[in-house]
């Protein structure tokens, strides 16, 4: 597996542990719908949380969360709609970004809740 894919998976593992430590229930990991993928689907109380994880080795080229541009947001919204429809869910949903910078083996986590609003 390519190094950047392994590094991304490492970031997702860090994010899952972080969310579980905060009391989130992890429902799905790497959930796919056609060409879209949701890194983590979790529950925070009664709210469904769609989580995009971005992991970098530094912020030299900008903060990791900046990679979640409008096109990526649209794909996440489309995938979230498919998940809700497929599972017959009518639940409040929010979109979070977990930005991780791993520096000298130590992750610095920035959890951005309600990172963007869907335009259902």
Q: What is the pLDDT of residues 13-35, one digit of tens each?
A: 999 999 999 999 999 999 999 88
117 neighbors 76 (Cβ within 8 angstroms) = no
CATH code for the domain defined by 3-116: 3.40.1350.10
pLDDT of residue 5: 58
In the predicted structure, residue 1 carries a pLDDT above the cut 60: no
Give domain limits for the chain. 3-116
In the predicted structure, residue 2 carries a pLDDT above the cut 80: no
pTM over 0.95? The answer is: no
Pairwise CA distance, residues 24 & 96, whole Å:
13
Q: What is the CA radius of gyration of the chain?
A: 14
In the predicted structure, residue 3 carries a pLDDT above the cut 70: no
Pairwise CA distance, residues 18 & 79, whole Å:
23
Pairwise CA distance, residues 31 & 101, whole Å:
23
94 neighbors 43 (Cβ within 8 angstroms) = no
């Amino acid at each position: 597996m390519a190094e950047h894919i392994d590094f991304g998976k490492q970031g997702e593992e860090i994010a899952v542990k972080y969310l579980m430590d905060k009391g989130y229930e992890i429902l799905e990991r790497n959930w796919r719908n056609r060409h879209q993928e949701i890194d983590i689907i979790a529950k925070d109380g009664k709210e469904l949380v769609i989580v995009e994880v971005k992991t970098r080795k530094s912020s030299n080229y900008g903060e990791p969360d900046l990679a979640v541009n409008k096109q990526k947001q649209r794909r996440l919204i489309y995938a979230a709609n498919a998940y809700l429809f497929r599972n017959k869910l009518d639940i409040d949903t929010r979109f979070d970004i977990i930005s991780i910078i791993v520096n000298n083996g130590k992750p610095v986590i920035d959890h951005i809740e309600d990172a963007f609003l869907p335009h259902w």
